[in-house]
Structure 1
Amino acid sequence: MNLLEINNTEFKQNMEILYCFPDNTSSCRKEVRSGPGNILLFIVLSCVSVCTVFLNLLVIISISHFKQLHTPTNLLILSLAVADLLVGLIVMPMDIMLLIDSCWYLGNLACCILVVINFLSMSASLCSLVFIAVDRYIAVCDPLLYSTRVTVCKTILFIILGWSFAAFYVIMFCYFNDNLLPSQISSSCNGECVVAMKYSWVVLDLVVSFLTPCSVILVLYSIIFKVARRQAKAVRAVKIGISNNYGPNDSSHVETKAAKKLGTVIFVYLACWIPFYLSSLSVENLTSESMVWTVFGWLVLMNSSVNPLIYAVFYSWFRASCKCIVTCRVFESSSSRFKLF
């Protein structure tokens, strides 16, 4: 091969290289994923994002509109739905955009805002999950004093404290990892949005964002399950003593239903978070560019899609409120006073 052929080959290779900003010499290389598999992945993830937004919007509209649903437990579910809505509305579409087109066109400021919203929504969602576990623990273990110990005002205060803690945690994350300002976002070239986490922060985050809330949720739900089983046995004994027509089937059904609900809550929570944290401990420096971050990060995002199914769809009031919303009965003047259950 002569010199002219070598130059032509290099020229063709350079012509095939795409850049995020062709007029910028410091621009990142552009990688557009347009194969059949990537298109299918784009469709699936887009459907997940749309369903996440739709389901959480239904939860938010239902609890906000119908006065019968203005209870402490439902306010916690509302807080959880708001956090999950941010994930489906902002975080998921941006991640999908980066999966299809590797370039970031919105600048460092938007990258910094995305990081803040991502960690804020995740932290607020975890706080809401812990508060829901505490609420159910009090309701099951101390039902007689539940109405006095857990009020709407106290619940709103705890929700504000939970979101405040989430915001403070995000600030600490940005400060600790030098991502507090847009100019501090790690970027080796123009057109890149990369978030780097120090290994020491990964260990700290493992304790604060996973081990602690996970331990609280597991302990509380295990106590709830034991108390529910004990109450079911007591009810079964009373029914057997009163009449043979009230056999153990009724209370056994309640016990089985409670076990399935609590088991679903625990399984989904652990299944979404354990892979991410186990993989994060296996590398010294974890960045948002790695495939590990992408796969297990999306698994964590999926938790925002499943949360409304667990905490709302299983309840009859949610199905009744959805029916009113879909049939546009919410626009009636007295719709907020409808009896849903």
Structure 2
Amino acid sequence: MNITEYQQIATVQYCFPDNNSSCKKEVRTGTGNIFLFTLLSFISVCTVFLNLLVIISISHFKQLHTPTNLFILSLAVADLLVGLIVMPVNIMQLIDSCWYLGTMACIVIPLINVVSTSASLCSLTFIAVDRYIAVNDPLLYSTKITVCKTSVTIISGWSLCLFYAITVFYFNDHLLQSQISMSCYGECFTVIKYSWVIFDVVISFLFPCSIILILYAIIFFVARHQAKAVRAMSIGRSQIHAAKISNSSQTKAAKTLGIVVCFYIGCWIPYFLSSLSAESLSSVSLLWTVFGWLAYINSSINPLIYAIFYPWFRASAKCIVTCRIFDSSSSGFNLFPEHF
């Protein structure tokens, strides 16, 4: 053995040096990698912070306890899971090729990933239905959509997402510990069969997105028709003004949530298109890593959209950041600017 070969053997590092079947360790260093890891960590922290603001705002302030906001709360919880669990684990895998969290975490974390991303789209679908009823049948909206019914719907949606995730992983043998494919100790990756990839694209993306887009098309058509009808009504000036305000409010809410949907579809299309480009896909592939992070960043965008378009979110966030939320009467604060 010459000196060069000896040096190569000596510099090889293993994930678990005391285990004979340990995987080789690959640590990614360098200025470019450090910058990338710092940027992704910043995105993860911002995702957690911003979605926590949404969750605390809607949970704490009584004025925000509406059916629509409960669906937004559900969406924020799903986005929080992405920023709190999915993003940090992916950053850890980018920095170090080894998996240190054990077999159980290798099963649970991909499950959380699928549940949280599925729950995001499920919440967006519920929001679209909610806005459709609010615009199409505003007089009966308060009786059809109540806080209690909304809560039951959200719980049912999350349960369905959990069942779907377990089904997908079970039929891909990922939930069976004895059948998890690991060539060495310290490795964790998910391989999805191509038949299930197609099924997943149809069920968890194309079908709900089609429903959402159809509903929003109807919403904007109805809103435009109602606006024309209000202008043509021969009623008192005050009644016309009130009708215009109501119609404008519903349309603005629909537009804001429509923007959220557009960003969601834009962030996830590359991921799903890439998933159809190969016969077998692994969670450790470079393409999935890049498009996966583009999809994860969507969880950071949603609360930013609320901050831009929702005055109540800016007002509630200001109360939280300035610690006014700790006042005994803070839950009853008026968050709508027209009353300030």
Matches within 5 A, 1:54-93: 54-93=49-88
- Contact kept, 8 Å, 1:60 with 1:78, in 2: the verdict is yes
Supply the distance in 2 between the matched residues of 1:254 and 1:338 (Cα, whole angstroms). 21
CA contact (8 A) 2:47 2:79 kept: yes
What corresponds to 2:203 in structure 1? 208
Tell me the equivalent position of 1:307.
Answer: 302
**TM-score, normalising length from structure 1?**
0.90
Residues 24-33 or 72-81, more deviating: 24-33
Equivalence for 1:117: 112
Aligned mates of 1:181, 1:89 — CA distance in 2? 26
- Is 1:47 the counterpart of 2:42? The answer is yes
CA distance in 2, matches of 1:146, 1:276: 36
By how many angstroms is 1:8 displaced? 2.2
Cα separation, 2, equivalents of 1:159 and 1:34: 43
Quote the offset at 1:262 in angstroms.
5.7
Instruction: State the shift of 1:235 in Å.
Output: 4.0
Per the alignment, residue 177 of structure 2 pairs with 182
Cα distance change of structure 1 residues 82 and 262 upon mapping to structure 2, 3 Å threshold: closer
Change in CA separation of 1:235 and 1:37 when aligned onto 2, cut-off 3 Å: farther
Q: 1:173 aligns with which of 144, 168, 171?
A: 168
> What's the secondary structure of 1:103's corresponding residue?
coil
What is aligned with 1:22? Answer: 17
Structure 1, 303-312 or 171-180: larger mean CA deviation: 303-312
Q: Quote how far apart the aligned CAs of 1:261 are.
A: 3.2
8 Å CA contact 2:71–2:126 kept in 1: the answer is yes
Residues 174-183 or 66-75, more deviating: 174-183
Contact (CA 8 Å) 1:30, 1:103: kept in 2 or not? yes
The percentage of counterpart residues that share the same residue type is: 70
- 1:133 is matched with which residue: 128, 150, 155? 128
Give the TM-score normalised by structure 2: 0.91
Give the whole-Å Cα distance in 2 for the aligned partners of 1:61 and 1:201.
Answer: 37
Contact 2:324 2:330 in 1 (8 A): yes
What is the aligned counterpart of 2:193 among 181, 195, 198? Answer: 198
Return the offset for 1:57: 0.4
1:283 aligned partner: 278
Identify if the C-alpha distance between structure 1 residues 84 and 208 changes in structure 2 by more than 3 Å, giving closer, same or farther.
same
Cα distance in 2 for partners of 1:160, 1:232 equals 35
Size of the aligned set, in residue pairs, is: 332
Counterparts of 1:15 and 1:307, CA distance in 2: 49
Q: Distance in 2 between matches of 1:263 and 1:138?
A: 15
> Are the equivalent residues in 2 in contact too, given 1:26–1:189 (CA < 8 A)?
yes
1:158 counterpart (153, 156, 171): 153
Q: 3-state SS of the aligned residue for 2:288?
A: helix
User: Displacement of 1:288 after TM fit?
Assistant: 0.7
1:3 maps to: none
Give 1:7 shift: 2.8
Rounded to whole Å, the distance in 2 between the matches of 1:263 and 1:161 is 23
Change (3 A) 1:116 1:254: closer
- Tell me the CA shift for residue 234 of structure 1: 3.5
Amino acid at match of 2:277: S
Partner residue of 1:105 out of 88, 96, 100:
100
Could you tell me how far apart the structure 1 residues matched to 2:253 and 2:315 are?
A: 21
Taking the aligned partners of 1:289 and 1:185, their CA distance within structure 2 comes to 15
- In 2 relative to 1, CA 266–160 (structure 1 residues): closer, same or farther, beyond 3 Å? closer
Q: CA deviation at 1:267?
A: 2.6
Task: Report the Cα distance in structure 2 between the residues aligned to 1:66 and 1:259, rounded to whole angstroms.
Answer: 22
The Cα of 1:139 is off from its aligned counterpart by 0.6
CA deviation vs aligned residue, 1:165-200 (integer Å, no higher than 9, x gap) = 011001101211001133433211111110110001
Q: 1:96 aligns with which of 68, 91, 100?
A: 91
* Counterpart-to-counterpart distance in 1, 2:146 and 2:283: 41
Q: Which residue of 2 aligns with 1:12?
A: 7
Task: Please give the alpha-carbon distance, in whole angstroms, between the structure 2 residues aligned to 1:257 and 1:135.
Answer: 14
256 and 145 in structure 1: CA distance in 2 versus 1, 3 angstrom threshold: closer
Inter-CA distance 60–260: structure 2 relative to 1 (3 Å threshold): closer
* Alpha-carbon distance, 1:320 to partner: 0.9
